[in-house]
Chains A and B, each alone.
Chain A
Amino acid sequence: MSRTWAYLSNYLIYSSMAVYTLSFFAHAVETAWAVKIPDATTAKTLDYKRTEKVARVATAMMILGFLLLFAGVIARGLSAGRVPWGNMYEFSITGALAFSGAYLAALRKYDLRWLGLLVSIAVLLTLGTAVAVLYRPSAPLVPALKSTWLVIHVSAAIISGGVFLLANTIAAAYLYLDAMESKGERTAWAKRLPSLESLDQLSYRLVAFVFPLWTFAVIAGAIWAESAWGRYWGWDPKETWAFITWVAYAAYLHARVTIGWRGRRAAWLCLFAGSTFLFNYIYVNIWGSGKHTYSGL
């Protein structure tokens, strides 16, 4: 029974990777067609209908990939009879799910389709590493993870992570376009992308939106640590880096609200804060010591 679920989960995840690949190509084609425009004057008269169709396919694939991945993560959980957050393979597939989910959620509100190229490649890379390097057979949880707090703490941490990385992607796009604009005009394909101003606002809003959730994830971790390890805070490497990420984003928010940072400086600070999160996920899980070693590697 549990074997069947585990196999099903693997197939679903492979299929979602195939669909994300299609989405990636569709986004790429859409962008490429836009790039081929010879100069700005013809750009105005170009018929966008053709690219519009491809773009719709790209987004549809993104949604389908998300659904397949979602089903894959659920099946993984069913195969082990628990939430699918027991080792780093499972954190990665759920993280990829959260990231593409954050993108699709933001897409409903903002014109973000252009970001699909970056999102699909990032999801593919995450899933690829998960499948190729991090894969572990489905197994029950170790005693320390058997707690309701697993669901609360890890879901909050993973969702915040997904949104932080989305904000990072947007901040990176900001810096790229900013560099382009400061050299002159945007190239034709980039003209369809949102203004620098709105990118700046968007990454700020995403961070402001999940910062409380991140705070909650850290506090939930502390409450859990109190019952599992006998202390709520012990400067374990993972705890330390969670704190550093928290301070970095707090600095980012303060820099915007109190000192009024905008644009380039704010984007760099956002990237820096996001990289402390990634460092925690990659470095501390794989090479770090400490109590937080559930990566199964």
Chain B
Amino acid sequence: MSQEIQLPELGSVGLLRYVWRQLTSMRTALILLMLLGIAAVPGSLVPQRTQNPMAVSASFRSSPELSQWMDRFSLFDVYGSPWFSAIYILLFISLIGCVLPRTIEHFHAARALPPATPKNLNRMEFYSAWPAVGSELELARAWFKSQRFRVLEKDGTLSAEKGFTRETGNLFFHLALILILLGISFSSLFGMRGEAILNVGERFVNTSTSYDSLAYGKLFKDGKLEKFILTIDKFDATYNVVTSAPEDYTLNVSLRTGDLTTTEKRVIKVNSPLAIGNTKIYLQANGYSPVVTVRDSKGNVALQGAVPFLPQDSNLRSIGAIKAPDADPQVGFVGSFVPTYQRSDGNGAISVFPQALDPRLLLSAWSGDLGLDSGVPQSVYRIDTSSMSQLGLKSLKPGEVFTYAGGSITFEGYVQWVNLQIVDDPGKNFALLGAIVAILGLLASLFTRRRRIWIRVGDVVEVAGLAKNAAPGLEQELAIFTKVLKGEK
């Protein structure tokens, strides 16, 4: 297909054309694919912000200089980094530029007849000849037809070809890769993904302010959030009594959608999210929220409610912070919740089972400035106690009260919380379709062989064959063909 067009290669135009040709060659696409593979490596060895933000901050704390230096190269955000994006965008362009012309070329070639029989068949790799009887051409025609070869007949010769599916499959495979990339880009432009932590009994109204974290695609409009209200009715977790491993999580919710007048009962489980239109709601994590009441010295309530704590191990020992900014002076509690309490010698209180069989709340009370107005973002699970003074320590059973100088805190009980992930991913069906087509294309291209078979009948019958890409199996096929021609079948 290379037509040498004699244009005076004008500096920049010529350069552009050269770059384009290089970029869209199959070899470049392959190199880019491999580069993408290599570029993916550091992200699996260095902690990533999107997956493990705690480990990233730990790295900044332990070796700040190295971390800053690594951050400059986006090593903590590999898969969103400019260099990673650059590779796959180039790959995308390269694939398109490589595959589209080949598709057109293949479309024409697939309808063309095979080229005429070459003069010297005996130069072919597989060649045989024997005296002719006369009926060979007839038999060959029938056999080619039954085997669905495409045949060109000319001057007592047949030239037959088969195996175009190979290139067709190959093209479909590469086109499918483009479809997958398109699906991914579509999702990142028009999708949304958010998370919310909800205590059992709480209600979630799907507006942007209800989320703990929320990310919109670049072209996602606020008004496009699906309309629904969700109430967390009940959460059941069952655990294996021997290993403490979770066996089942079941979340019961009440859902109002559409005009929000009727309520339906629905169930969400780990492998079966709840779908509302294009939005899906996933049960991601769960834990305990101790329910507390904080009072000041006069008995006025400064804080009341359930405070989510963060699980630390498989028996759900959880840590958290209870902050009462409305008390005067402000008080805060650094706490740890154990669902099934046991004292251990080395570690103080531990949990020996994830279910709340014998819960305890262990608190350390602090008084002073909680630092909530400083403008520095704060973790809801921690308190910076550096400018506070400690009031005391206490371990509480449900119903017990801890009284300290200036007030008291009552451990009323606990509720469970669930972390819901709410996702609208409009491109995923394209990606899935692309994946399916990719597999089918791959199968077609790996398991069909493209080959030509010729026969010339004069005084002798000459048969020859040629396999593209040295694909195996042609020898056997020719043996069968020869048998058919000799009537030995």
Q: Which residues of A contact B (CB under 8 A)?
A: 137, 139-144, 146-147, 149, 201, 208, 211-212, 215-216, 219, 222-223, 226-237, 240-241, 243-244, 247-248, 250-251, 253-254, 257-258, 284, 288-290
Contact = CB atoms under 8 A, between A and B. Distances in A.
A212 B443 contact: yes
Interface in B5-40: 26-27, 30, 33-34, 36-37, 40
Contacts of B439: 212, 215-216, 219
B269 A241 contact: no
Contacts of A143: 246-249, 269-271
B240 A139 contact: yes
Contacts of A233: 184
B480 interface: no
Contacts of A139: 240, 242-243, 245
Given A235-B40, A247-B37, A146 B442 contact: no
Given A201-B472, A243-B40, 6 more contacts: A215-B438, A228-B270, A230-B273, A235-B44, A235-B48, A247-B33
Contacts of A223: 432
B52 A289 contact: yes
Contacts of A248: 37
B423 interface: yes
Give the 3 A-B CB pairs with smallest separation, nearest first: A247-B37, A230-B282, A143-B270
Interface string B137-164: 0000000000000000000000000000
Interface in B240-288: 240, 242-243, 245-249, 269-273, 280, 282, 284
Contacts of A147: 271
A217 to B, nearest CB: 11
20 contacts: A139-B245, A142-B247, A143-B270, A143-B271, A146-B270, A147-B271, A208-B446, A219-B435, A229-B282, A230-B284, A230-B423, A231-B425, A234-B51, A235-B50, A235-B79, A240-B40, A247-B34, A254-B30, A284-B44, A289-B51
Nearest to A219: B435
A228 B273 CA distance: 8
B1 interface: no
A211 B443 CA distance: 9
Contact of B271 (A144, A222, A234, A289): A144
A222 B435 CA distance: 10
A232 B247 contact: no
Given A146-B271, A222-B435, A230-B273, A289 B55 contact: yes
Contacts of A215: 438-439, 442
A144 B273 CA distance: 12
A233 B36 CA distance: 15
A244 B39 CA distance: 9
B311 interface: no
A151 B7 CA distance: 60
Contact of A211 (B240, B246, B273, B442): B442
A232 to B, nearest CB: 6
Contact of B43 (A146, A240, A250): A240
A254 B270 CA distance: 39
Contacts of A201: 472
B41 interface: yes
Contacts of B469: 257
A282 to B, nearest CB: 14
B308 interface: no
Interface centre among A143, A149, A201, A219 (most CB of B within 10 A): A143
A237 B44 contact: yes
B30 A251 contact: yes
A141 B269 CA distance: 14
B47 interface: yes
A284 B41 CA distance: 12
Contacts of A289: 47, 51-52, 55
B382 interface: no
B428 interface: yes
A222 B183 CA distance: 14
A289 B284 CA distance: 17
A241 B247 CA distance: 28
B322 interface: no
A241 B47 CA distance: 15
Contacts of B472: 201
Contacts of B34: 247, 251
Interface centre among A139, A147, A226, A248 (most CB of B within 10 A): A226
Contacts of B240: 139-140
Interface centre among B41, B421, B446 (most CB of A within 10 A): B446
B327 interface: no
B99 interface: no
Given A212-B439, A226-B428, A289-B52, A142 B245 contact: yes
A146 B248 CA distance: 9
Contacts of B272: 227
Given A139-B245, A228-B271, A250-B33, A240 B44 contact: yes
Nearest to A291: B51
B194 to A, nearest CB: 11
B220 to A, nearest CB: 16
Contacts of A236: 51
Contact of B44 (A219, A227, A231, A288): A288
Contacts of B438: 215, 219
Contacts of A222: 435
Contacts of A288: 44
A290 B51 contact: yes
A137 B243 contact: yes
Nearest to A258: B26
Contacts of A257: 469
Contacts of A232: 425, 428, 431-432
A245 to B, nearest CB: 9
Contacts of A208: 446
A243 B35 CA distance: 12
B285 to A, nearest CB: 11
Contact of A227 (B26, B37, B271, B442): B271
A219 B432 CA distance: 8
Interface in B412-443: 421, 423, 425, 428, 431-432, 435-436, 438-439, 442-443
Contacts of B248: 143, 146
Nearest to B445: A257
Nearest to B36: A247
